[in-house]
Amino acid sequence: MLTRPSRSLLDLSARCQVIPVIENRVQFAHALDAPQVSVVTLRHCNIFELQTLLERAYRRGLSVYVNIDHIEGIHADFAGLSYLANHFHVLGIISSNPRTLSLGKQIGLETIQRIFAMDSTGLETAIESVDRQFVDLLDISPALVLPYVIPFLVTPLPLPFTASGLIQSDQQIQAALQCGALAVLVTRSEFWQ
């Protein structure tokens, strides 16, 4: 039986500022072996391998968020999200779709809205569209733009945020954190230490 830990991204300690983004079984094994990892995000898996991955994650005490826009076999509708919440017991979902996030919040999942920041104007427009009633956290991507766009926003970000995408160095992780990101979501396992 699956039972989830309840370590929220909103409550992370300073030592957990790099969150693994799991795209395959090899990365998953690395995340399980990294003692400081307490939260992971799953991307690019399918419904047939999800239960096995979650069982292993929960045995290790990991909290799991699922990027619902990239999971095969689970549709981002009420039934699919209810299945993720009630059968698989995931803590939250990541999506760029406001309707999906609204449904997830109604079901009791934590919700993270992924925002693609192409420039400061696009970021401001995307932020204005965020419905705080249904979104707990923002994920700004690519993380590399944060130092360039955050200082120039006319209004501050309405919610806490993480950063993800295109991370190639520890300096880039630190730059995103210095811009106010709670954490940086990273696919490259060498940065999970």
Domains of the chain (ranges; CATH) run 16-191 (3.20.20.70)
pTM of the model: 0.90
Dihedral angle, C-alpha 157, 180, 117, 134, nearest 10 °: -50
Give the pair of three-digit tokens for residue 147: 């130092």
Tokens for 121, please give them: 């104007």
Beta bridge partners of 66: 42, 93
Q: How far is CA 90 from CA 35, 44, 57, 153, in A?
A: 20, 15, 10, 33
pLDDT mean by block of 10 residues, the chain; 193 residues: 61 75 91 90 88 91 92 92 93 94 96 86 79 93 88 76 94 94 93 85
In terms of Cβ atoms closer than 10 Å to its own Cβ (0-12, 13-18, 19+), residue 116 is middle
